[in-house]
Amino acid sequence: MAHIFNLILVQPLLNLMVLVYNLIPDIGVAIIVLTLIIRALLLPSFGKSLRAQKQMSDLQPKLNALREQHKGNKEAEARAMMELYREHKVSPFGSCLPLLIQIPLLIALYRVFIVGLGSGSDWNTLLYSFVHAPAHISPYFLKVIDLSKPSIVFGIIAGIAQFFQSKMMLPKAGGGDATTKALQFQTLYFLPLITILFSLRLPAGLPLYWIVTTLFAVGQQYYIMKT
- In this model, does residue 58 exceed pLDDT 90? no
Q: Which of 75, 77, 48, 47 is nearest to 62 (CA)?
A: 77
> How do residues 136-169 score in pLDDT, each as one tens digit?
889 999 999 999 999 999 999 999 999 988 888 7
Average pLDDT over residues 15-27: 94
- In this model, does residue 181 exceed pLDDT 80? no
Q: Any idea where the domains of the chain sit in the sequence?
A: 2-226
Percentage of the chain modeled with pLDDT above 90: 36
The angle, 0 to 180 degrees and rounded to 10, between the axes of the packed helices 74-88 and 43-69 is 140
Average pLDDT over residues 15-43: 93
> How do residues 101-136 score in pLDDT, each as one tens digit?
788 888 899 888 887 776 555 666 788 889 988 888
| Burial track 145-169 (b if 16+ CB lie within 10 A, e otherwise) | bbbbebbeebbbbbbebbbebbebb
Q: Which of 146, 166, 164 is nearest to 154 (CA)?
A: 146
Please tell me what DSSP assigns to residue 172.
S
* 134, 152 Cβ separation under 8 angstroms: no
Average pLDDT over residues 182-209: 87
In the structure, what pLDDT confidence band is assigned to residue 97 with cuts at 50, 70 and 90? Answer: low
